[in-house]
Amino acid sequence: SKVLKVKLDFLLSKMRQVGMTQEATYDYILTSDYAMLLADELGYNPIVDDEAAFDIHAPPPHPNPSSLPPRPPIVTIMGHVDHGKTTLLDTLRSASVAKGEAGGITQHIGAFSVPVSQNANSVTGSQTITFLDTPGHAAFSAMRARGADVTDIVVLVVAADDGIMPQTREVINLLKREGSHVSLVVAINKVDKPGADVESVKRALMVEGIQLEEFGGDIPSVEVSGLTGHGLPELVETLSAVAEMQDLRAEQDGPVFGHILESNFNKGIGPVATVLVQRGCLKVGARVISGLSQGKVRLMMDSNGKSVKVAIPGMAVTVSGWKTLPKAGDEILEGSEADIKKALANRVTMAEKEALHEDVEAINSSRKLDRDARAAAAAAEAESRHLARDNALTEPETGPKELKLIIKADVSGSSEALEGALDSIGNSIAISKVMSTGVGDITESDVMMAKVANAIIVGFSVSAPRIVQNLAAQNGVQIFTSNIIYRLVEDIRERVISMLPKII
Ligand code: GDP
């Protein structure tokens, strides 16, 4: 009311006038749509501040990926507990340190890279393989849930003395779900053990639908011992060959895009995060943003504890220089100081809004509970009054009269909200019932569905094209649209009430 230069009471009455009866309290937090509507009502010309909504995003995919330099494959080792994942990773890691520069100390940073043998007849592929060593980490499920799994190849470890176990099956099912962009390599482990039965493991894998190469399929398998190191060069070569088929490439110029694998607070240095670089080169001095954290890259170290000045795609490095601790699983992006400042302001606002929204939802739902309780009491009273009349009805009732609704809304969030608000308004005599919800403008098929179901169509922030309106009129289907949920709620409530028998 201050900004609009009107008295609070006037604003509240205006709100009620335009249908915001529920919102017309001094502490209700308005959405930008409602705020715009009110400003408009009061003769202002509201402009949404797009600048305030600035954010940094990953650069679009390269138009000609085959021209880009190759990048190392990102490999995740998965399998049943105790089948030897940790041992395998440890042996691979220490072998890589031995092969690499002397004096390196193996550090657990969430990922490490292994050089591909010079003998491998790879001319186009990458010279290293990056292994992720915390696949069970919550960050990985978070990334996967967002469809941002960073893995190119999964190594499924199966112990030759134990065979297929529940978590082996979980991995197989996960891979079937993830589709084709992740390749699978099977490592039959612990072949040094006396009880090892490689052939029966292979047969069992076939039964699970894993088509191994030697049986005419396309999934390679390697017999290894994580303990003795037997078969590990073959495993690395197989991974390199699979990666070459995948033709993995990434731009080394342009802004950095990657993911945070791990993060922790280091007493001497402050917040430190392991960054997996996926596109672009991360350099000391770069300005970066990840979630609500920002930083200027101060010191970068690889998994051998060696300080590096540049991290190329496929490389994982620890990065210090963060103002706050970034979250594992979040994206990291590079930008100018000014852009990061704007992006951060926007993200903080969004995060605050989200938190506020949750609060408001909680308050509203408790208010709704209150209202529902009162409504239920009123309904019970009404019901008892109607009882006499109902008993006299000659036709036996088979349940409450239903007002059937088909909901359409602009976004799925609002269609869900609307479904929650509009479903089951009423009592045991007359009640609203949502038949379906959908996103987008009202269509001819919505009208036909409404006709068949004897339902009415309720639209929130969507429109009904003229042709659809005509079809609805011809078929006697009613359409209600509004940009204010509360109006729709009131409307449906009125209709349900009108379905109640008149009190004699
Ligand atoms: P994880 O739970 O899959 O990470 O399995 P671990 O790497 O912790 O291994 C479980 C047990 O199996 C440990 O006692 C390892 O020493 C043992 N183990 C792992 N790999 C091998 C192997 O190749 N041969 C033998 N004989 N034992 C192994």
**CA of residue 188 to ligand 1 center, whole Å:** 12
**CA of residue 477 to ligand 1 center, whole Å:** 68
Q: Specify which of 48-52, 55-59, 410-414 reaches the highest per-range mean pLDDT.
A: 55-59
Nearest-CA residue for atom 9 of ligand 1: 84
Ligand 1 atom nearest 224 alpha carbon: 23
Nearest-CA residue for atom 20 of ligand 1: 84
**Gap between the Cα atoms of 150 and 134, Å rounded:** 13
Nearest-CA residue for atom 25 of ligand 1: 190
189 lines ligand 1 (CB under 6 A): yes
pLDDT digits (tens, 9 = 90+) for 368-394: 666 666 666 566 556 555 554 444 443
**267 pLDDT above the threshold of 90:** no
Amino acid 88: pLDDT: 95
Ligand 1 atom nearest 228 alpha carbon: 23
The helix/strand/coil state of 327 is: coil
pLDDT digits (tens, 9 = 90+) for 437-446: 988 899 988 9
Tokens representing 402 are 């239903």
**Gap between the Cα atoms of 139 and 142, Å rounded:** 5
Pick from 423, 441, 440: nearest CA to 432: 423
ipTM value = 0.99
Amino acid 171: pLDDT: 85
Amino acid 441: pLDDT: 92
Mean pLDDT of 14-36: 80
The helix/strand/coil state of 119 is: coil
Ligand 1 atom nearest 79 alpha carbon: 3
**CA of residue 296 to ligand 1 center, whole Å:** 41
**CA of residue 69 to ligand 1 center, whole Å:** 37
The dihedral over CA atoms of 342, 345, 348, 353, expressed in degrees to the nearest 10, equals -110
Q: Which of 87, 131, 223 to mutate to test the pocket of ligand 1 (most atoms within 8 A of CB)?
A: 87
230 lines ligand 1 (CB under 6 A): no
432 lines ligand 1 (CB under 6 A): no
Cβ contact 160:201 at 8 Å: yes
**Gap between the Cα atoms of 90 and 88, Å rounded:** 5
Nearest-CA residue for atom 22 of ligand 1: 190
The helix/strand/coil state of 19 is: coil
Pick from 356, 354, 347: nearest CA to 294: 347
Q: Which of residues 348 and 27 earns the better pLDDT score?
A: 348
pLDDT digits (tens, 9 = 90+) for 210-223: 999 999 999 999 99
Pick from 94, 139, 124, 99: nearest CA to 112: 94
**CA of residue 365 to ligand 1 center, whole Å:** 52
Tokens representing 399 are 């349940």
Cβ contact 442:479 at 8 Å: yes
108 lines ligand 1 (CB under 6 A): no
Nearest-CA residue for atom 11 of ligand 1: 82
Amino acid 165: pLDDT: 94
**CA of residue 87 to ligand 1 center, whole Å:** 6
Pick from 308, 261, 258: nearest CA to 280: 258
**504 pLDDT above the threshold of 70:** no
Residue 484 Ramachandran class (φ > 0 left, ψ -120 to 50 alpha, else beta): beta
167 lines ligand 1 (CB under 6 A): no
pLDDT confidence tier of residue 429, bands split at 50, 70 and 90: confident
**CA of residue 83 to ligand 1 center, whole Å:** 6
325 lines ligand 1 (CB under 6 A): no
**CA 346 from centre of chain:** 19
**98 pLDDT above the threshold of 60:** no
83 lines ligand 1 (CB under 6 A): yes
What is the overall mean pLDDT for the chain? 84
**243 pLDDT above the threshold of 90:** yes
Mean pLDDT of 96-113: 67
Q: Which of residues 61 and 358 earns the better pLDDT score?
A: 61
pLDDT digits (tens, 9 = 90+) for 146-203: 655 788 999 999 999 999 999 899 888 888 876 668 899 999 999 999 999 999 999 9
Express as a percent the part of the chain with pLDDT over 70. Answer: 82
**Gap between the Cα atoms of 201 and 162, Å rounded:** 8
Q: Which of 137, 170, 227, 230 to mutate to test the pocket of ligand 1 (most atoms within 8 A of CB)?
A: 227
Pick from 72, 102, 106, 71: nearest CA to 89: 106
Ligand 1 atom nearest 83 alpha carbon: 3
